[in-house]
Amino acid sequence: MDIFNQIEEQNQKHQASHAFQFQYIAELLNRKGIDVQGVVDKIKAFQIAIPSWALGTGGTRFGRFPGGGEPRNLEEKIEDIGLLHQLNRSSDSISLHIPWDIPKDPIALKQLLQANGLSIDSVNSNTFQDQPDQALSYKFGSLCHTDARVRQQAIDHNIACIQHGQALDSKVLTVWLADGSNFPGQQHFRRAWQRTADSLGSIYQAMPEDWTMLIEYKPYEPNFYSMVIPDWGTSYSLCQHLGKNAQVLVDLGHHLPNTNIEQIVARLMHFGRLGGFHFNGSMYGDDDLTTGSIKPYQFFLIFNELVDAMNDPTVKNPPLAWMIDASHNSKDPLEDLMQSVQNILTTYAKALLVDRVVLSAAQDNNDVLAAEELLRDVFATDTRALVAEAARQAGGAMEPIAVFRSLGIREKLIEKRGQKSIATGL
Ligand code: AFD
Ligand code: MN
Ligand code: MN
């Protein structure tokens, strides 16, 4: 049986209980004067890019435990994401990482993308690993390096990434740097910032007018003393230095515990400088867990700020590039991605239900309890039936993981690609 029929059949199986649950939430929202189909339409329109490096099992510091059937090349990665998109109708693009995904035949790839209903989201550069054919080492940094020749090599790599992206109609370059220092005194902080800014400037100059550069920050790496771009402030300062086509990228896992991420996204959108978003979940730091798995309330508060700013016509922030950035060490990567997408959509749906007029009034009147209770009430609302309805209307599966399992997709991938195939990535 093909996947389309299987989706139909599974949806039929769930239809009775879905209709019951959807009717209940629709009635509840109607009473509050919310346009239910309008919410469903917004959920349908929300698309989340999948990174090519999240289709295989992530490595731990001590080893890698692949589950089998991982994509062996870019074509197979596209097939995997095409499948995801067919199931959930919410993952219509793919982010590439160079040199892991150098497109060998862009024309054929574009056809494959089209056949799968996909496009290329962003192109990510990699100057955090030395490649075998590389002349100079990034041991002491890349764009921040003290040696101009190393910086030039890293600049050239980023420009090559832009060219690969152009061949596939991408318009976004994402830069994440592992540059930093391991010990106090090792690096001159001000000069390291300046060298990084100058190097990014050269890349920015080489970028086509209609491209965006996303600059990702991260507070630490294991064994580190300092990162050159540790926080949103540094990322923002670099964007200011570069120009209007540079934007800050927020990765949910790149904050120290208890950081108020919702406030960060609100600030950045207020400044018109939030360009993109990497979804994942984290307990301690850059854990790259399933989105929404650890701190669902915080995740909702973040989405609440995003939606608030997206709905506010006075906010001049460009549309955001949404992407999952996760690592799957113990779950099937495709199942984990589907779980993440579901969690993102149910949380987005909640944020859409916030009555912003009432919330603003409570805030202006300093009615602390009313403001907080309004958010808590929405957070407690079960939005799963709204997301299932969006999937159903879009021709996707109301229970995508159930379809994935009942079709034995992983087993078939293992049969085709082998138990020991390993996808490129970290
Ligand atoms: C690393 C970083 C960051 C980045 C990814 C891809 O932590 O999240 O987005 O590599 O470059 O995992
Ligand atoms: Mn990231
Ligand atoms: Mn990360």
Q: Decide if pLDDT at 383 tops 80.
A: yes
Q: In angstroms, rounded to a whole number, what is the distance separating the alpha carbons of residues 60 and 64?
A: 6
Cα 417 to ligand 2 centre (Å): 28
Neighbours of ion ligand 2 (CB under 5 A): 251, 278, 325
Q: Which atom of ligand 1 is nearest to the CA of 253?
A: 8
* Omega cis (within 30) before 99: yes
400 burial via Cβ count (<10 Å: 0-12, 13-18, 19+): buried
- pLDDT tens digits, 170-220: 999 999 999 999 999 999 999 999 999 999 999 999 999 999 999 999 999
**CA angle (80, 340, 418) in 5-degree steps:** 30
Q: Decide if pLDDT at 32 tops 80.
A: yes
Q: Which ligand is nearest to the CA of 251?
A: 2
pLDDT > 70: percent of the chain: 100
Q: Decide if pLDDT at 389 tops 80.
A: yes
DSSP 99-162: TTT--S-HHHHHHHHHHTT-EEEEEE---SS--TT-SS--TT-STT-SSHHHHHHHHHHHHHHH
pLDDT of residue 422: 81
pLDDT of residue 421: 85
Q: Which atom of ligand 1 is nearest to the CA of 249?
A: 9
pLDDT of residue 67: 87
pLDDT of residue 424: 77
- pLDDT tens digits, 329-376: 899 999 999 999 999 999 999 999 999 999 999 999 999 999 999 999
Residue with tokens 């764009």: 143
Cα 222 to ligand 3 centre (Å): 12
Q: Which ligand is nearest to the CA of 250?
A: 2
Q: Decide if pLDDT at 120 tops 90.
A: yes
Mutate to test the pocket of ligand 1, among 172, 216, 255, 291 (most ligand atoms within 8 A of CB): 216
Please state the pTM of the whole predicted model.
0.97
Which residues 6+ apart lie within 8 Å of 300 measured at CB? 347, 350, 351, 375, 378, 379
pLDDT of residue 1: 58
**For 126-136, what is the mean pLDDT?**
97
pLDDT of residue 60: 83
Mutate to test the pocket of ligand 1, among 100, 157, 176 (most ligand atoms within 8 A of CB): 176
Q: What is the mean pLDDT of the chain?
A: 96
**For 36-46, what is the mean pLDDT?**
98
Q: Decide if pLDDT at 62 tops 90.
A: no
In this prediction, residue 285 has a pLDDT band, given cuts at 50, 70 and 90, of: very high
